[in-house]
Structure 1
Amino acid sequence: MTTEPKPASTSHVTAMLIIDAVLIVIFAIIGVASHDGNLGISNIARVAIPFLLPYLFLAAAIKPTELINNIFPAGLALWLITVVLGPILRSMLFSDTSALAFILVAAGVLAVFILGRRSISTLLTRQRKTA
């Protein structure tokens, strides 16, 4: 007899969305600090907003229980869409070009952040269930 997984609470879903959004902002802060050095809000926003928008729109479209900890397909889709649309929106919104090196670094860092957070959450959830 198998049991259905317990649905995530609204507060848990919200907390995980906030953590993911903060990780995307941290990605922007690291990038700005590495290249520009001026950690003003507008500089961070120019990098973060184009990545936050596709992440948040897709997150809103995904079933909350799939969004939270699932690496595949939800986490992978969130990461891929964020990485693909982020540089496009950056160009459209701020006329900032994205060199291939930037896109590759963004893909790597956001994979660690978005997929890594889900991996850690999954491990912690499994540990709690077995304890």
Structure 2
Amino acid sequence: MMPNPWLNTLGISLARIDFGPNGLNPPHTHPRATEILVVLEGTLHVGFVTSNLNSGNRLFTKVLHAGDVFVFPIGLIHFQFNVGKTNAVAIVALSSQNPRIITITDAVFGLTPPISVDVLTKAFQVDEKVIELLQKQF
């Protein structure tokens, strides 16, 4: 997410997200901002994962419809997925003019140079062919 020049120095960011059917905003985090999402149309399945520090890795999810609002706490991994058969549209506001975005899959499987296959097979407890396949996707 790029800083919005019209909101520069105001300490907030806004974005519109358009989802096609089965569209996904994959698991990611904003290390500098809390995010609030408002669904304008469609149906989104959203969720976030608490970290190890606060009550363990716990998933909080909700299916949202037009008019619903959801808050993603600062720094927590979260996602949005269009579970409807039509397009979905959401507006998000973030509590920073530069919230940054770290997409989890890119950060783990899309690095140059890559994280060692040995490290990832041990971390995810899967065969090295699975890791190699995932790394090729990025």
- Band the TM-score falls in, shorter-chain normalisation: under 0.3
- Normalised TM-score (structure 2): 0.24
Larger RCO: 1 or 2 (CA < 8 Å, sep 6+): 2
Task: Return the structure number with greater strand share.
Answer: 2
